[in-house]
Amino acid sequence: MRCPYCLANEDKVVDTRPSEDEQMIRRRRECNACGRRFTTYERVEEAMPMVVKKDARREPYERKKLLGGLHKACEKRPVSPDLIDLVADEIERSLRELGDKEIPSSKIGDAVLSRLRDIDDVAYLRFASVYLPFKDAGDLMHEVQRLIRSKAEGF
């Protein structure tokens, strides 16, 4: 593993433990050259389905894009980075469980909306404002009112 500080290739593993959900292994490493410590994570690489975009283009699934959308929606909100990673893990797991070789991008967007609705209303509305086809502010207001009604009925 390359040291992020001095870029040396030699290190030793100081500590190894599974993550809380046991989907990853966390390793503390110490660089043999500079002596600084850093953390790495290992996860099983599983084949994800191809993503079919609205214009019928197909592209490989990228976790980075999912995390980017989640982080952007949750920016400056009381949502921890660990929770965002957990949501991404759950969405990926559900996509793999479908067993399909291709999946419409809309299914991923719907899954993100569903999870954000449970986590943070503002993050949900931020994502919805980009993802859903709102024509004007009235459509957005309608979604806000729908969200408020659904929260009121849930309590």
pLDDT in tens, 112-151: 999 998 899 899 889 988 888 888 888 878 888 888 888 7
* 63-75: average pLDDT: 93
Q: Percent of the chain having pLDDT more than 70?
A: 97
**Least confident stretch, 9-13, 14-18, 32-36, 148-152:** 148-152
- Which structural domain range is residue 130 located in? 50-154
- CA–CA distance, 124 with 70 (Å, rounded to integer): 10
100 part of a folded domain: yes
- Do 75 and 148 reside in the same domain of the chain? yes
- Do 37 and 54 reside in the same domain of the chain? no
- CA–CA distance, 131 with 4 (Å, rounded to integer): 36
Q: Sorting pLDDT into bands at 50, 70 and 90, what band is 20?
A: confident
2 part of a folded domain: no
- Do 76 and 131 reside in the same domain of the chain? yes
- Do 95 and 79 reside in the same domain of the chain? yes
- Do 38 and 58 reside in the same domain of the chain? no
- Do 149 and 102 reside in the same domain of the chain? yes
Structurally, the chain folds into a number of domains equal to 2
- Do 119 and 82 reside in the same domain of the chain? yes
Q: Are 66 and 22 in contact (CB under 8 A)?
A: no
* Torsion sign over Cα 49, 53, 56, 59: negative
84 part of a folded domain: yes
4 part of a folded domain: no
Q: Sorting pLDDT into bands at 50, 70 and 90, what band is 154?
A: low
* pTM of the complete model: 0.64
Instruction: Tell me: pLDDT of 72 over 60.
Output: yes
- Do 81 and 105 reside in the same domain of the chain? yes
- Do 61 and 88 reside in the same domain of the chain? yes
5 part of a folded domain: no
What pLDDT does residue 112 have?
94
What pLDDT does residue 155 have?
52
Instruction: Tell me: pLDDT of 52 over 90.
Output: yes
- Do 37 and 55 reside in the same domain of the chain? no
- Do 106 and 133 reside in the same domain of the chain? yes
- Do 37 and 73 reside in the same domain of the chain? no
